[in-house]
Structure 1
Amino acid sequence: MLIIPAEHPLDWKRPPVITLLLILLNCLIYFAYQSGDEARQEAAIKSYLDGGLLNRERNLIVERLMQEHELKEYEREQVQAMPRQQLAGAALTDLEFEQQIHQRADYQADAQWQSKRQAAEAARDQISSFRFGFIPERFTIQGLFGAMFLHGSFDHLLGNMLFLFIFGFALELALGKATYLLLYLASGLASHLLWWAVEPAWVPGVGASGAIAGLMGMYLGVYGLRRIKFFYWLGPLFGYFTAPALWVLPVFLGKELYGALLADNNVNYWAHFGGIAFGFIAVWLPRQFNRIQVDEAYINKEDADAPFKRELQALDQLIGRFVLDQAASRGLDLLQRYPERLELLDKLYPVAKTRQDKALFSALLKQLFALPAGSGQLALLQKLASDAGEGQSPMLKHPSVLLHLLQHLLREGDSRHALQPWRLLAAQTPAPAQLATLSLQLSKQLGQRGDRHGLADVARLLREQFPDAEQTRQVNLLQAHLAR
């Protein structure tokens, strides 16, 4: 049975940075560190066999395997015939068997046996699951934290990372990065602590599933009784349904409780149960007292840009009623609160041009020229170039404005409109020093377009104003090449 929320689509405009970093960290640990476990295990088994420990402990481990697997007496020979490496591995990795060995009087009286076994156990403890896995009967802080970043196999890693992404991307946006990360780690700890309290075991536990189960509980805690969309897969049946999020909590907990009490596999159901319960309580309870901040606009699927759009509409109404003094005043305020928004710049440019408002013009041009290339500002740049050429705005004829306008039009690859500010700059005496370099860039673009007339104008200016410049020589060569 599988039930997962399907309430929010992924929005890459707000990438889940913490979730992606957690996935990357888990993958790096698995591939860069845990990939060495096979060699570590071989070294531990070699130490065990070289120390002659199997000769001492063969009958003991055979008896242990017979009891553990409830084998019949006639199967004893099959167990005794197991390969030496396999028996050695069983003797080394069975921590309860190890505890029984340590409590034997003959072991405690045999210093050589103790020395050889301690060496083999030290080699075994270099394996990731024994070094950083959580073993309830051997409670360690490094195991409590480290186990949630280890995985038993690639399939284990893949499944956990998939669910981490499914639950994590929405929760990171809803709770905020810091709260999300803190509760993720706390859920992992809580899942291990419940397992330690309910089912003390000698088996190393590894995996992020306890922390991820916490995300499942958090998701339900965020939405509470709000109806949300779920995807389900039950045998041959699958599809979507909507229900109050809280109604799914008993299903999640009941599934894990059933597995903990009745299932016979290696899944750590108690850790899952603890993670879900903690995650839910850690979010739902503080929400009842407004003790945790949640992005209500996100969970309500409100348009994040809605406030800006309302402000823009109000500005549009002022312009439509020709209340330009108020539109200019509000425009300056909006430029401060919503910087570098092209829609706003488009709305305000006619106001600034009509009123010849220096403050509004200056703020507008600074933000326009600060936009990165390819932000959709070409149409507005072309409008400025045309207005400058027609002399509609004295402020557009300032040399620094014209230089910025020329640079940005060249960056956008629009040589046709770039000629307008270039001609105005060329008419100034003396010509700005940067004009030679910009003229060469313009010439190359004009040459690519095959605009010989425009190229001739640029070449003539360079010969007059910068006769000895390297840029003049290159433009002359380009002009000669196109004339062939």
Structure 2
Amino acid sequence: MFIAIPLETKPSWRSPPWMTLLLIAINCWVFFAWQVPEERAVQRAAERYQHTPLPKIELPLYAQELDRRAAASGKARDRRRADAVEQAQRADMVELVYQAMWHDSAFRERLLDGRLIGPGDPRHADWKAARDAFTPTEPARFTERWSQNHDANAPFRPITWLTNTFLHGGVGHLVGNMVFLFLFGFTLEMALGRGLYLACYLLGGIGASALAAWVYAGNGGLGLGASGAVSALMGMYVVLYRLRRIPFFYMLFFYFNYARWPALVMLPVWMAFELVQHLMGGAQVAYMAHLGGLITGALLMALIMATRRVEAPSAPAPSQADAAAAARHAELKPLVDKARALTQSLRFADAALVWQRAARLAPTDPELLRAWFDAARHDPASDSFHAAARQIFKLSTRHAPHRRLQVESYRVYLDRAKPGIRISPATLQQLVRSFVLEGEIHDAEQLARVLARSAPPPEGWLDTFELLINAQMKAGRHQQAQTWLPLLERHAPHEALTRRLAGQGAS
């Protein structure tokens, strides 16, 4: 299995690929509104069939017909099919054999025409009566009617070269084709416009069916599916981008990766893959329809580009912010790798200095700051240790992970810092808020006492103390909350918080 998906562009939902979405919707509608009900009707007919006299007469004839075909063709797949039907018949699996017979249009035609059970057959009268009663109850043959018929005596119906591209053999078949229709279709719709894109899609499907009709003529079976038309889109895509190197996601059997290749290189690769699969005898997949689609699509796009100017959509240029972030990441990664290597080598002092350099590029990254702090704590008297702690304490208190990191780091810092902690009033105020929001009221009170000694109080101090006092009241620590009244009366005597606290004390 080989898959290659281009990643050059993304769909624009400001101008959605309506034609591509419409094609997907039509395929889904045909499958779920027509084909699925048809299969259910066949299952119900099979249940009725086993209660008629027909199985004992018709099923042995069908097994003999398949055996004759297998002997004539010499193909392994025909022999496997004949053996499977014979085993199912012996096991009295009437419903399963009926469904296989119902889908075998060549056999049904001979059966219903009376060529297998003629008037001279002693069973003819009983069979004719049972068959005349049962045949009108069988479902109409929608899928077979609009599929390509590769039987030797099938009538020439070129309309099916187009209609078969809207039919599918199952949900997996449908989903796979629709995914690739979207992945390639939206880019081509942007480049060509809806009308020309639709015309190319339909012509691509016809071209794919034409090659399949020639290669598979007389092989039997039905041809259906949008994969030929989707292959045409793939051929158009690579011709559109020509030798421009575009990113692809690819998978080869169980290996997958990303690569940047000249787009046109993929055309012979895809064509060779389809040819090899065909020559290896893949009978369940119409690889020649895929090849026909690739060829048709490539020729269509080459013709279009020879007669008009077509601009291949490009990935939008990164914004200045994205470019700056990418540059910062490129600079940051080697520093992080070096710091981790030093940490693993237990060279904590050197690691702390490298982490500090990395923190200048990502000053709000909590994991990076934690790594810096953990490395620097081995030298608690170093400037790096104090700087790491301060940087953590400056993180926003709006995020719970930031607050938890601040609480944990402060306790370590308080215990280990030498000769003592170095925290500004503004940073101390930040810590008070974090401790309150994390429910650590007792520690918040201790920090607030240190903050209260600051002269003058830092900007925003009143909001911080209001947060603390409200938390104390909620926790039932009314007496502790009253201890802040002198501070409030001294620095904010006319504030509502001061009056409220004074009123509660008087009561």
TM-score with structure 2 length normalisation? 0.52
Larger of the two Rg values belongs to structure: 2
Give the partner amino acid of 1:209: S
Give the partner amino acid of 1:215: L
Q: How far apart are 1:127 and its partner, in Å?
A: 3.9
Which of 192, 203, 218 is the aligned partner of 1:175?
192
Partner of 1:5: 6
SS in 2 for 1:140: coil
Partner of 2:390: none
Give the partner amino acid of 2:149: I
Partner of 1:94: 104
CA distance in 1, matches of 2:10, 2:191: 13
Q: How far apart are 1:240 and its partner, in Å?
A: 2.1
Partner of 1:377: none
Give the partner amino acid of 1:227: R
CA distance in 1, matches of 2:58, 2:89: 14
Partner of 1:136: 150
Give the partner amino acid of 2:63: V
Q: Do the aligned partners of residues 81 and 187 (structure 1) sit closer, same or farther apart at CA in structure 2, a change above 3 Å counting?
A: same
Q: Which residues of 2 match residues 415-426 of structure 1 at below 5 A?
A: none
Q: Do the aligned partners of residues 74 and 107 (structure 1) sit closer, same or farther apart at CA in structure 2, a change above 3 Å counting?
A: closer
CA distance in 1, matches of 2:99, 2:308: 49
Matched, 1:186 2:187: no
Give the partner amino acid of 2:144: F
C-alpha contact (below 8 Å) 1:224/1:284 kept by paired residues: no
**Higher helix proportion, which one?**
1
Q: How far apart are 1:95 and its partner, in Å?
A: 2.7
Deviates more, 1:133-142 or 1:178-187: 133-142
CA distance in 2, matches of 1:71, 1:173: 46
Give the partner amino acid of 2:236: M
Q: How far apart are 1:204 and its partner, in Å?
A: 2.1
Give the partner amino acid of 1:268: A
Q: Which residues of 2 match residues 371-450 of structure 1 at below 5 A?
A: none
Matched, 1:234 2:252: yes
- State the identity %: 33
Which of 237, 262, 270 is the aligned partner of 2:288?
270
SS in 2 for 1:69: helix
SS in 2 for 1:10: coil
Give the partner amino acid of 2:246: I
In structure 1, the gaps of 5 or more residues are 304-484
Which of 43, 59, 79 is the aligned partner of 1:69?
79
Give the partner amino acid of 1:155: G
SS in 2 for 1:14: coil
Which digits, 9 at most, give the CA deviation of each residue in 1:294-335, with x for residues without a partner?
2x2x535688xxxxxxxxxxxxxxxxxxxxxxxxxxxxxxxx
C-alpha contact (below 8 Å) 1:124/1:130 kept by paired residues: no
Which of 213, 219, 235 is the aligned partner of 2:237?
219
Give the partner amino acid of 1:221: V
Q: Do the aligned partners of residues 146 and 47 (structure 1) sit closer, same or farther apart at CA in structure 2, a change above 3 Å counting?
A: farther
CA distance in 1, matches of 2:185, 2:85: 49
Q: How far apart are 1:6 and its partner, in Å?
A: 1.4
Matched, 1:80 2:90: yes
Give the partner amino acid of 2:272: G
Which of 274, 291, 299 is the aligned partner of 2:307?
291
C-alpha contact (below 8 Å) 2:59/2:89 kept by paired residues: no
Q: How far apart are 1:63 and its partner, in Å?
A: 2.4
Q: How far apart are 1:31 and its partner, in Å?
A: 2.2
Give the partner amino acid of 2:165: M
Q: How far apart are 1:103 and its partner, in Å?
A: 8.5
Partner of 1:280: 298
Q: Do the aligned partners of residues 174 and 153 (structure 1) sit closer, same or farther apart at CA in structure 2, a change above 3 Å counting?
A: same
SS in 1 for 2:256: strand
CA distance in 1, matches of 2:301, 2:17: 19
Q: Which residues of 2 match residues 40-79 of structure 1 at below 5 A?
A: 40-42=41-43, 44-45=45-46, 52-66=53-67, 67=70, 68-70=78-80, 79=89
CA distance in 1, matches of 2:119, 2:79: 30
Q: How far apart are 1:142 and its partner, in Å?
A: 4.7
Give the partner amino acid of 1:30: F
SS in 1 for 2:9: coil
Which digits, 9 at most, give the CA deviation of each residue in 1:259-302, with x for residues without a partner?
11214452111111111111111112442xx32442x2x53568
Partner of 1:256: 274
C-alpha contact (below 8 Å) 1:45/1:92 kept by paired residues: no
Q: How far apart are 1:120 and its partner, in Å?
A: 6.6
Which digits, 9 at most, give the CA deviation of each residue in 1:332-382, with x for residues without a partner?
xxxxxxxxxxxxxxxxxxxxxxxxxxxxxxxxxxxxxxxxxxxxxxxxxxx
Give the partner amino acid of 2:211: L
Q: How far apart are 1:122 and its partner, in Å?
A: 7.3
Q: Do the aligned partners of residues 115 and 184 (structure 1) sit closer, same or farther apart at CA in structure 2, a change above 3 Å counting?
A: farther
CA distance in 2, matches of 1:120, 1:301: 60
Give the partner amino acid of 1:136: H
Q: Which residues of 2 match residues 136-175 of structure 1 at below 5 A?
A: 136-137=150-151, 138=154, 139-175=156-192
Deviates more, 1:120-129 or 1:52-61: 120-129
Q: Do the aligned partners of residues 12 and 51 (structure 1) sit closer, same or farther apart at CA in structure 2, a change above 3 Å counting?
A: same
Which digits, 9 at most, give the CA deviation of each residue in 1:404-454, with x for residues without a partner?
xxxxxxxxxxxxxxxxxxxxxxxxxxxxxxxxxxxxxxxxxxxxxxxxxxx
C-alpha contact (below 8 Å) 1:95/1:202 kept by paired residues: no
TM-score with structure 1 length normalisation? 0.54
Partner of 1:324: none
CA distance in 1, matches of 2:56, 2:38: 25
